[in-house]
Structure 1
Amino acid sequence: MSTQPTESQEFRPWSRRRFPLSVITSLIFLLVVLALVATLAVEKQKIPTGPTPCLDEWIGYQRKCFYFSENTTTWGTSQSFCASHTATLAIFNTTKELDFLKRYIDHSQYWIGLSREQGAEWQWADGTMYNRCRLKIIGEGQYAYLHKHGVNSASGHLFKKWICSRPDAYIPRN
């Protein structure tokens, strides 16, 4: 018997040839790297960047989150509730924000983050002074509340609904 390959064996070069171990190792390494890159790309999309979105039951508007209560309580207890959610009673800086708040307040009265010492100027819950040119506050009370037709003031021991706001927490959706 002859040990030389026959004609049919010569046309099948891959049938008995083995790949070098380095080629197989390189292919496996490449597949692992591609799988890792794909996994990291998916995970990166899951990680939120920037500010956190509004909490459940809060409404986002112009980079703020607002909470409209359904219960009533005093101004001080309302402010404590807001603080427990890393917020203050509502602060609005523009007419657009005020109009937004009015759209959600039904026919109730809502404590907002404006207060003053007896005879002093109005001040927001974050310590900034109120610009009285924007909206007249009616009444002689020390604490402000919002209703459909504007802002009034009253004693803080009265029970009203309230609005909290968290600045720079809302992520606008595109």
Structure 2
Amino acid sequence: MSEVGYQERRFGELESSMMSHSSLLNTMNSDLKGKPKDSESQNRTLTEVVKLSSSVESLSSKQQSTDQRVMAALNEIKTELEGSSVQAISHHGMMFAMIRLTSSVESLSSKLQSTDQRVMDALSEMKAMLETMYVLAGGLTCEPGWTLFRSKCYFFSDDKLNWHQARDYCRSQNASLIKLETKDEWAFIRPRAALNSYWVGLTDEVTGQWRWDDGTPYIMNKDEWVAGQPDDWKDHGMGEEGEDCGHIYTSGRFNDAHCSVKMYYICKA
């Protein structure tokens, strides 16, 4: 397939996905206009929020480029959100979340150029705002001892385990060692990791390539690591293996360490 043909196909996928988002927003808007009071209607509205959030996340993973058709789709979403926010004044604080989302799309409209990263950032912000709407509507709570951020629950341990033990504990809680995915999540985690190092869900133990605990590849970004890391240091006196497991250091950046070292850990559910 030619490059032009490939881009045309990707544009079509983006446009279709954006139209799907608008359709979901229309459904939400209809529910909000009726000011549903029964739990069934409330749950239906929350389900649409979750579906839209999941759809944006899926789009973010495959987005490649953008043009005026994407801008038009974003503007359509903005229009739908503006209409919804007026009807949501007393609906569990959703109006505030929608207004913020409308503002983010409007900001994108004034600044967006033909760069993938700006669209990715905008879509991430849209997803985060939708998650905020879901939380404001009372759609999620965390177990005692866990901290709610956006639509995820985080557990900061007060005991120390080696990497494998930490991974297994998180799994026993229907969670996983943390996978850091957004700038907001980094900003949430860094202050909490300022005093102690915490295991995260990064390892190159099996494949020799850094991967997250859920099996997805980690795309190397040296800005996220302590200078000179990862270095797979082998003179640690703990066996022949190098440093195959990742943790977040007190500087707020990743470092590699021997998987048998015991340290604090963060679970994410």
Letter in 1 for 2:186: L
Alpha-carbon distance, 1:119 to partner: 7.2
Higher helix share: 2
CA distance in structure 1 between the aligned counterparts of 2:206 and 2:178, rounded to whole angstroms: 21
CA distance in structure 1 between the aligned counterparts of 2:258 and 2:148, rounded to whole angstroms: 29
- Given the superposition, is the C-alpha separation of residues 116 and 107 from structure 1 closer, same or farther in structure 2, using an over 3 Å criterion? same
When the two structures are superposed, what TM-score results if normalisation uses the length of structure 2? 0.42
Does residue 142 of structure 1 match 2:244? Answer: yes
CA distance in structure 1 between the aligned counterparts of 2:167 and 2:210, rounded to whole angstroms: 16
**Identical columns (%):** 23
When the two structures are superposed, what TM-score results if normalisation uses the length of structure 1? 0.63
Bigger Rg over Cα: 1
Deviations 1:69-110, CA, capped at 9 Å, x for gaps: 011011011011100110000111122211211111241110
CA distance in structure 1 between the aligned counterparts of 2:179 and 2:206, rounded to whole angstroms: 21
**3-state SS in 1 of match to 2:255:** strand
Contact 2:140 2:151 in 1 (8 A): no
CA distance in structure 2 between the aligned counterparts of 1:77 and 1:147, rounded to whole angstroms: 19
CA RMSD of aligned residues (A): 2.3
Q: Which residue of 2 aligns with 1:36?
A: none
Q: Which residue of 1 aligns with 2:193?
A: 105
Q: Which residue of 2 aligns with 1:87?
A: 175
Alpha-carbon distance, 1:113 to partner: 0.3
- Given the superposition, is the C-alpha separation of residues 70 and 106 from structure 1 closer, same or farther in structure 2, using an over 3 Å criterion? farther
Contact 1:108 1:147 in 2 (8 A): yes
CA distance in structure 1 between the aligned counterparts of 2:215 and 2:171, rounded to whole angstroms: 14
Letter in 2 for 1:114: L
Deviations 1:101-136, CA, capped at 9 Å, x for gaps: 111124111000000137721100111111112623
Per mean C-alpha deviation after superposition, the further-off stretch among 80-89 and 135-144 is 135-144
Q: Which residue of 2 aligns with 1:71?
A: 159
Does residue 114 of structure 1 match 2:206? Answer: no
Does residue 161 of structure 1 match 2:264? Answer: yes
2:144 to 56, 60, 70: 56
**3-state SS in 2 of match to 1:138:** coil
Superposition misfits of 4+ residues, deviation over 4 angstroms: 47-52
Higher strand share: 1
Q: How many residues end up aligned between the 2 structures?
A: 124
Per mean C-alpha deviation after superposition, the further-off stretch among 110-119 and 156-165 is 110-119
Q: Which residue of 2 aligns with 1:33?
A: none
Contact 1:102 1:147 in 2 (8 A): no
CA distance in structure 1 between the aligned counterparts of 2:261 and 2:160, rounded to whole angstroms: 9
CA distance in structure 1 between the aligned counterparts of 2:231 and 2:193, rounded to whole angstroms: 20
Alpha-carbon distance, 1:55 to partner: 1.3
